[in-house]
Structure 1
Amino acid sequence: MHHEFARTDRRSFLARTALGISAGALALPGLAGVAEAAGAAPPPMAADAKAGLERLLAGNARFVAGHPICPPLTQRRAALAHGQSPYAIVLSCSDSRVPVETLFDEEPGNIFGVRIAGNFLDDNGIGSIEYSVAVLKSTLVVVMGHSECGAVKAALENVKSGAMPPGHIAGLVRAIEPAAKASKGHAGSWLQNAIVQNVRENVAALPHRSAIVAEAVRAGKLRVVGALYDLASGKVTLL
């Protein structure tokens, strides 16, 4: 049943893409008229990337101060059942200490979350970002690393000793290894420098690896920024 639903959902999405239901989609080959999944979405909470970034940072300030105002999911559940309009996409680490909606004091339905250990881009993550840009009309991408990142620590250990972790964990390490090497020998903490370098490399890489993102940025419809979340203070700092 699950596999049949997934096949049906993919067929429905491709059909909507081909038919060109929405006139507001990005003017890219093969994506003209891409529309959101069936159902009316609630209105977006931020009109553009600038407003979205200001909203995220204001929410983080409330989180740091211990004064969150975000209502529980139960208050928006009925509206969200019919669609979503996330104004921001956040590529973050899978670390359980980095709950994106919580640290931005944001309601469900407003952030399109893409998570992978080490917060780096792979084909599936890029596809998820592209979906939110082209279909959901998100206007902001935040690539967010965090202090004491275990995936980055593993990459540093690999550079130091050549020790590669087992299984598919090795793939995570290889993806972060360029940032670990590029930041080695610089002043300050190697770990902290590598975490920042990893974010910056992925911010720079995204428009080069995604025509959809690049076109949206050129058209002034999308902004891509880097950020760092500090586990101890709870503060998000733009890079």
Structure 2
Amino acid sequence: MIGGPLSDDSALNRSGSTRDATPRPAFDAETPLARLLAGNQRFVAGKPRFGHHVDAPGARTTQHRPWACVVGCLDSRVPPEAVLDQDFGSVVVVRTGGHVLDEAGIGSVEFAVSVFEVPLVLVLGHQYCGAVTSAVRALDGGDHPGGAVGRLVDDIAAAIDPTDDPAHRVDRAIDRHVARTVSVLSELASTRDRIAAGTLEIVGARYQIDTGRVTVLG
């Protein structure tokens, strides 16, 4: 069984464990993904189940027992809880520009995997990603942004193939960047053994802004 609750006032109990006597339903590595995709189907159909009301039961509980972690972009058009139609307490979300992960981002994923013991990490890229578009333009035009924004461009640059058809370069870079993020997360010390044991799956997906649909990649 996969467990690991957190209370609202303490991450660890006195024994150093986050487990308590309240069981959480056991999920295999594929069931959480099916639940997220089913939620996206409801979203696309215009029939979402969850409205995120503050007085909903999931918003007022002391138990935090998420069953998936979504790593996504900060783009305001792609709020994971909405496009995957999930209720309070279902998913933990890590969002940065172009889902580029620094130590804090990776640490957040490791926390979700090690403490919450989520069986799924979904890396969600998206159509019209501004961070990827900026990286492509920087490489094509030689106009590299300064400061921390340049860090985003440098990370994404490895996913850009200058031999791609210019008309499809951004879209292909988006998908490659998702695949690279999946690879990075899959090689963490905190994830490798769980993946090998079949208790964790790390999956890449793409959100189409034109249609609202999420498609699993690879």
Task: State the TM-score, normalized to the length of structure 1.
Answer: 0.79
1:41–1:85 Cα contact (<8 Å) kept: no
Q: In the alignment, is the contact (CA less than 8 A) between 2:136 and 2:170 conserved in 1?
A: yes
Structure 2 match to 1:207? 186
2:218 is aligned with 1:237 = no
1:85–1:137 contact (8 Å) kept in structure 2: no
CA RMSD of aligned residues (A): 2.2
What is the rounded CA distance, in whole Å, between the counterparts of 1:89 and 1:198 in structure 2? 18
How far apart are the structure 2 equivalents of 1:95 and 1:214?
29
Q: 1:165 to 1:207 in 2, by over 3 A?
A: same
1:90 maps to a residue whose letter is: V
Moved more, 61-70 or 158-167: 158-167
Q: 2 CA distance for matches of 1:238 and 1:108?
A: 23
Q: Between 47-56 and 58-67, report the one with greater CA deviation.
A: 47-56
Could you tell me which amino acid in structure 1 is paired with residue 56 of structure 2?
Q
Partner of 1:27: none
Q: Evaluate the alpha carbon distance shift between residue 41 and residue 228 of structure 1 in structure 2; reply closer, same or farther with a 3 A threshold.
A: farther
Contact kept in structure 1, 2:134 and 2:153, CA below 8 Å: yes
Runs of at least 5 residues in structure 1 that lack an aligned partner in the other structure? 1-8, 23-34
Q: Deviations over 1:138-170 (max 9, x none)?
A: 000111100010000111011112211232111
2:170 pairs with one of 176, 183, 191: 191
* Range with bigger deviation, 57-66 or 211-220: 211-220
Q: CA deviation at 1:107?
A: 0.3
Cα offset, 1:186, TM superposition:
2.5
Change (3 A) 1:41 1:92: farther
User: CA offsets, 1:82-103, max 9 Å, x none?
Assistant: 1211111110000111110010
Cα drift, residue 137 of structure 1: 1.4
**Among residues 60, 64, 68, which one is paired with 1:78 in the alignment?**
60
| Identity, % of aligned positions | 39
- Deviations 1:26-67 (CA, angstroms, capped at 9, x unpaired): xxxxxxxxx26xx887845x7232110110001000100101
**3-state DSSP of counterpart to 1:237:** strand
Matched, 1:21 2:9: no
Secondary structure of the structure 2 residue equivalent to 1:228? strand
Cα distance in structure 2, aligned partners of 1:160 and 1:41:
55
- Rounded Cα–Cα distance in structure 2 between residues aligned with 1:229 and 1:161: 27
2:214 and 2:23 map into 1 onto residues whose CA distance is: 27
CA contact (8 A) 1:42 1:84 kept: no
